[in-house]
Amino acid sequence: MPTVLAILPEGFEELEAVAPIDLLRRAGAEVTVAALGPTIHITGRNGLTMHADTTLSVVGESVFDLLFLPGGPGVALMRADPRVRATVLLHHKADRWLAAICAAPAVLYDAGLLTGRRYTAHFSVANELTAILADKRVVADGRLLTSRGAGTAVDFGLLLVDKLVSPEKSAEVARSICA
């Protein structure tokens, strides 16, 4: 089964994290949720506290088939943490899938991975990410997968299943949730 690393900082956007993680798990992917901070409990922007599987420090330099970054105010913490950039670059160099939603494509921007690429993101980062395809809910460019925000989280999760598992499995999961 494919493996996924989802990094959750304090202030993550709950819907953007939970919907893709849920859909990936329904498709059979092994999703590891790693807290950015020192404990496995992370509170999202709307007060929902998640119980992560581990912390990013414990994950270390492990490589997964897909690296997933949710958005929300916690993106500022991911951008400030050199371990996140190192994890992004490690996965990029290993030719693994990189997925970011909402403001999280800014983390990929900081790592120098958006130049010349097609992507979308939340309008809140449009002043930095000037090539956002604002009319697109999700964008796939090679192994780079991006989405606009909480309202596109299910579409994004189904895209991740499509690319990581198969289009057939994505369609099956979509049918099962009436998407």
Domains in the chain with CATH codes: 3-176 (3.40.50.880)
pLDDT cut 70: percent of the chain above it = 100
- CB atoms under 10 Å from CB of 1, counted, come to 11
61-72 mean pLDDT:
98
pLDDT of amino acid 174: 98
pTM listed for this prediction: 0.97
7-23 mean pLDDT:
98
pLDDT of amino acid 168: 98
User: Which DSSP state fits 91?
Assistant: H
Integer CA distances (angstroms), 60 to 5, 11, 83, in order: 11, 22, 9
What gap in Å lies between CA 110 and CA 91, rounded to an integer?
A: 15
Contact, 46 vs 14, CB < 8 A? yes
Residues taking part in catalysis: 102
pLDDT-derived band at 134, boundaries 50, 70, 90: very high
pLDDT-derived band at 149, boundaries 50, 70, 90: very high
Contact, 122 vs 139, CB < 8 A? no
Give the 3-state secondary structure of residue 97.
Answer: strand
Q: For 22-62, give the DSSP string.
A: HHHHHTT-EEEEEESSSSSEEE-TTSPEEE-SEEHHHHTT-
Give the 3-state secondary structure of residue 156.
Answer: helix
What gap in Å lies between CA 7 and CA 37, rounded to an integer?
A: 10
pLDDT digits (tens, 9 = 90+) for 90-105: 999 999 999 999 999 9
